Structure 1
């Protein structure tokens, strides 16, 4: 029994698909060599069988020598037993090689996904990445399954050639030259197969990607009545994949037909020449029977070689796709780590915008361009080292991107605007490390005002969360994600639009709870938002204009002194139809929000946005 995941086998060789396959072979060379050994024994036993039958006929049956016949029959029985045992062991080792290569590839891709930041989502869709582990990794494993049979076939071919030469040098030349020629003739069919399999893999990848994206947005599609459009698109992609698969099937059918034709012609020619030599007295009857057995045996090496080439083509295509994923530069890494993180809570300075986040308290970032404020949050969380090199963030006076990534992730946590929940129990989703008691989890849920979500689950914290939390509404997912962020107890917690999908009453409760918890514990909390309710609960509000620090103060101070800030904050209130009062004015709603976060908000619809 092998444990999974495997220990790391080192850095994969990504210079070419062939080198990647060789790297995998090196990582499991022990099992691979064992499989090749059993495969060679298994095939050599098959190759010896015609030889023993011929000897039994010539030395036992024809002369009537029962002793010699018993000897050869006993040897044949022993050979059959060895062949049976070696066949079983070869199969077990071959399947082990298949699964090891597939799972090691899947594990390598998984590690890449967890360490690349958002570099992969920018280049590949979710479906394409999933296809590399669900499909391409298994195709790569196939070549290691057939490796033992291929090595055994080669050994058997060489042995049969030697034995045939002992009988007739003419027939020996036929075997020595004829088998490779038959294999080469199959290449004319294999080449178009390679091209068609590549086209089929690309079509299948696009179909999988479209399917994954459609499922992810199914709730929205149903809400706007647009699911039929994506169904038609998926049907079109599926049809393209089907047609590409049909072309692959045509090539496989041609390959099978050519195998039967070439191998059959070779077997007929080989047996015919042997029969002529038997009639002329050049060989004995038993040797003719052995030659016929060799002809039957040689069918296997030719077919195995063709099968190996076909599987190698699929593995080569799969390895190319995996290399594309693995070769994508990670957004963050520890290669240049040379500076220790500050020992005590320290200020964060974003050089590009001139924003300073002082340790402790609640701060907010507001910008007329949401991309600017979100970009600042990403820089504070060290999401892209390349960006940080150009626009450095300093933490405690040192460059953030030069610090150990593990420590940065432990002390600075960013909760993004698009919440992600994973399959499992709610307790596991909110506290993946299992560090907190149920009471602590309930306190975080209360901060996020998500108690109603918990009440809706039959088994409470042990209730199952569906994939990506699709069983929850957008506001429920957002509040659960906020509870998960609070549970990290991070030294610096950056929240990007944490209440954009909740109603005004809930938003007021969250703002009040954040101020009572994070605002009094000495931790630093940064909120990217334009919501007056949250802004009123902040100690400091930073206003960005053109990506630079424009002004800083409390929410009330900026409302009274900075017209651009007032316009940004009020604009959000007047755009959704809920922020206007009886006179149709949204400004009074924004102006009414002061440091007391429980004060009314223009949106009082009582439900989630």
Structure 2
């Protein structure tokens, strides 16, 4: 795999059972690149290790006053130098290629998993952790993949040099062959502690990143309630914990580095002392002593890669563990046999778990007695309920005593049906094309307004019509003033639409959803940030534009409810009443309490006469009994 071939057409199915297994899976998928890097590494390290022989041969030629052998030694050194340069260049090239391709594979896997999970991802994994995994953790994983082939080449070179020294000069070679394994293995007892400290540092850094991400996402709210200093102080404390953990980790790694310098120095002293003793006795020549001494000096270079691979693994293992945790999350349990016919279905949208039915071609409003249930119901209607996700570690908060609703979800709920076909059995791309869910807090990506509205669509709804239905005239005027050519479609929208008000962002997101024109559109509180007059016009515009299409609006706004073809009231996770808005206001006290925000103490025993439009969305004469 070359960099020019990226991205992967198929990044594969990762082994996400654990961090080490995920790293092993990455290595297996890069076996070709690793072998290339190993081959160039062997050329580089063996050429470096061959220099002492050339130097020793040259020294002995000078002692023997042999010009021919001195010239041969010079030619050998030049040849080895060229091999070192070529091997080092290609080793760096192939190792970096391995790093980039591994990082690209991990990022593609994370992107696919994020797309598959959708909004359910951030309910299982914090947004800051997702950011940390896709940035810093990918870099750490790539570092280990890059260092692996260099370490393998260095280890093989050390073994070959030790064997060669034993053959070349058995007396001194035996000392080196015994000392080198001691040097390589001396730091092993310290690695578990260094690894734990590195894990602790990465954990603290991940928490600080999560805190920073969450703080930035809620900065506008924090400013509104004056909580900036409080969260800033929390981030300062988290940063200091990261600094302390990093210092503790660095101390351990500095100790390992010191040992890696001290022990080779001691080995050199032993080699020189013993070699001089052998030379005085005439058992070895001066050139052989220089060769062995130089070889021990040169071997310090490949030995440094033992420390690098230990550091790379220590830092990449927790990163791989976090990546594996995200990749192990599943949107749904795959059915034993999927549908052979992947034609987009149509018809009624029905949730067997709650009994909510949205007939085809009608505008159905859903009112939930529990506000939290509305978001979960919207996710269910979109085909990605939280109850069907799996991961390596359940959230203990999900099993709190008395939380019967979440316990029922954990047990698994039946899939939502579209035209009688379970959404779980549809391929993901088909399910996403037929049912679109707009969250109550939709995200606007940075770019121009034209790019924002350039989404997959049926072509039946023009952007101009969608903007008009969402009542975006004032937004277009504001964007036109900020555009150089006074064309609102070319105006830039900042990240998450931060330059727009909450109502403007909400209306642009609604226009984007309307342009998509799916078979079934689910809107979760689409007008919560706009005034009542604009809300009434939006309700009329959505109803007109979605004529003949299935639309579900989760809301408690009387202005939207009054324009719905039918209203479903959900209490305690079950649809308990169905009808028109004015009918339910008159006949269902629980529904009336949710819609009008009226408590039992505030409700009069008998009320006769017109109810204000602010409460019901219309004026009707009613007579009600408490």
- For normalisation by structure 1, the TM-score amounts to 0.90
Q: Deviations over 1:225-249 (max 9, x none)?
A: 1111000000000010010011111
Cα drift, residue 81 of structure 1? 0.9
Cα drift, residue 117 of structure 1? 3.4
> For 1:261-300, what aligned pairs fall within 5 Å after superposition?
261-300=262-301
Output the CA distance in 2 between the equivalents of 1:452 and 1:274: 89
Q: Which residue of 2 aligns with 1:41?
A: 43
Output the CA distance in 2 between the equivalents of 1:595 and 1:406: 45
Cα drift, residue 369 of structure 1? 2.2
Match of 1:229, SS state, is helix
Q: Which moved more, 1:239-248 or 1:273-282?
A: 273-282
Q: Which residue of 2 aligns with 1:193?
A: 194
> For 1:327-338, what aligned pairs fall within 5 Å after superposition?
327-331=328-332, 336-338=337-339
Q: Which residue of 2 aligns with 1:417?
A: 440
Match of 1:450 among 472, 483, 504: 472
Superposition CA RMSD, Å: 2.6
Contact kept, 8 Å, 1:332 with 1:383, in 2: the verdict is: no
Q: Which moved more, 1:186-195 or 1:202-211?
A: 186-195
Q: Deviations over 1:16-43 (max 9, x none)?
A: 3222112111222222111111010001
In the superposition, relative to structure 1, how do residues 13 and 378 fare at CA in structure 2: closer, same or farther (>3 Å)?
Answer: closer
In the superposition, relative to structure 1, how do residues 341 and 138 fare at CA in structure 2: closer, same or farther (>3 Å)?
Answer: closer
Q: Which residue of 2 aligns with 1:553?
A: 579
Q: Deviations over 1:151-192 (max 9, x none)?
A: 222232123223322333232222222111112211233332
In the superposition, relative to structure 1, how do residues 455 and 332 fare at CA in structure 2: closer, same or farther (>3 Å)?
Answer: farther
Q: Which moved more, 1:133-142 or 1:557-566?
A: 557-566
Contact kept, 8 Å, 1:337 with 1:401, in 2: the verdict is: no
Match of 2:522 among 494, 503, 518: 494
In the superposition, relative to structure 1, how do residues 564 and 8 fare at CA in structure 2: closer, same or farther (>3 Å)?
Answer: same
Contact kept, 8 Å, 1:42 with 1:83, in 2: the verdict is: yes
Q: Which residue of 2 aligns with 1:395?
A: 418
Cα drift, residue 6 of structure 1? 2.1
Q: Which residue of 2 aligns with 1:8?
A: 10
Q: Which residue of 2 aligns with 1:153?
A: 154
Q: Which moved more, 1:267-276 or 1:280-289?
A: 267-276
In the superposition, relative to structure 1, how do residues 183 and 7 fare at CA in structure 2: closer, same or farther (>3 Å)?
Answer: same
Match of 2:553, SS state, is strand
Output the CA distance in 1 between the equivalents of 2:31 and 2:11: 11
Q: Which residue of 1 aligns with 2:502?
A: 474
Q: Which residue of 1 aligns with 2:307?
A: 306
Q: Deviations over 1:33-55 (max 9, x none)?
A: 11111010001111111112222
In the superposition, relative to structure 1, how do residues 373 and 148 fare at CA in structure 2: closer, same or farther (>3 Å)?
Answer: closer
> For 1:169-568, what aligned pairs fall within 5 Å after superposition?
169-331=170-332, 336-338=337-339, 340=341, 345-384=346-385, 386=388, 390-433=413-456, 440-457=462-479, 458-459=482-483, 460-519=488-547, 522-568=548-594
Q: Which residue of 1 aligns with 2:613?
A: 589
Match of 2:527, SS state, is coil
Match of 1:364, SS state, is strand
Contact kept, 8 Å, 2:17 with 2:328, in 1: the verdict is: no
Contact kept, 8 Å, 2:128 with 2:211, in 1: the verdict is: yes
Output the CA distance in 1 between the equivalents of 2:345 and 2:241: 59
In the superposition, relative to structure 1, how do residues 237 and 331 fare at CA in structure 2: closer, same or farther (>3 Å)?
Answer: farther
Output the CA distance in 2 between the equivalents of 1:362 and 1:447: 15
5+ long unaligned stretches in structure 2: 389-408, 601-608, 621-626
In the superposition, relative to structure 1, how do residues 466 and 331 fare at CA in structure 2: closer, same or farther (>3 Å)?
Answer: farther
Match of 2:597, SS state, is helix
Contact kept, 8 Å, 2:49 with 2:295, in 1: the verdict is: yes
Output the CA distance in 2 between the equivalents of 1:408 and 1:115: 11
5+ long unaligned stretches in structure 1: 575-584, 597-609
In the superposition, relative to structure 1, how do residues 214 and 68 fare at CA in structure 2: closer, same or farther (>3 Å)?
Answer: same
In the superposition, relative to structure 1, how do residues 225 and 308 fare at CA in structure 2: closer, same or farther (>3 Å)?
Answer: same
Q: Which moved more, 1:343-352 or 1:64-73?
A: 343-352
Output the CA distance in 2 between the equivalents of 1:343 and 1:50: 72
In the superposition, relative to structure 1, how do residues 325 and 295 fare at CA in structure 2: closer, same or farther (>3 Å)?
Answer: same
Contact kept, 8 Å, 2:445 with 2:452, in 1: the verdict is: yes
Cα drift, residue 320 of structure 1? 1.5
Aligned pair count reads: 582
Q: Does 1:54 align with 2:56?
A: yes
Contact kept, 8 Å, 2:611 with 2:619, in 1: the verdict is: no
- For normalisation by structure 2, the TM-score amounts to 0.87
Output the CA distance in 2 between the equivalents of 1:536 and 1:69: 101
Match of 1:456, SS state, is helix
Contact kept, 8 Å, 2:613 with 2:619, in 1: the verdict is: no
Output the CA distance in 2 between the equivalents of 1:109 and 1:335: 25
Q: Which residue of 1 aligns with 2:399?
A: none
Match of 1:296, SS state, is helix
Match of 1:390, SS state, is coil
> For 1:99-110, what aligned pairs fall within 5 Å after superposition?
99-110=100-111
Cα drift, residue 115 of structure 1? 1.0
Q: Which moved more, 1:73-82 or 1:496-505?
A: 73-82
Q: Which moved more, 1:172-181 or 1:349-358?
A: 349-358
Contact kept, 8 Å, 1:342 with 1:395, in 2: the verdict is: no
Q: Which residue of 2 aligns with 1:569?
A: 595
In the superposition, relative to structure 1, how do residues 375 and 136 fare at CA in structure 2: closer, same or farther (>3 Å)?
Answer: closer
Output the CA distance in 2 between the equivalents of 1:232 and 1:586: 54
In the superposition, relative to structure 1, how do residues 310 and 478 fare at CA in structure 2: closer, same or farther (>3 Å)?
Answer: same
Output the CA distance in 1 between the equivalents of 2:102 and 2:338: 32
Output the CA distance in 1 between the equivalents of 2:79 and 2:176: 27
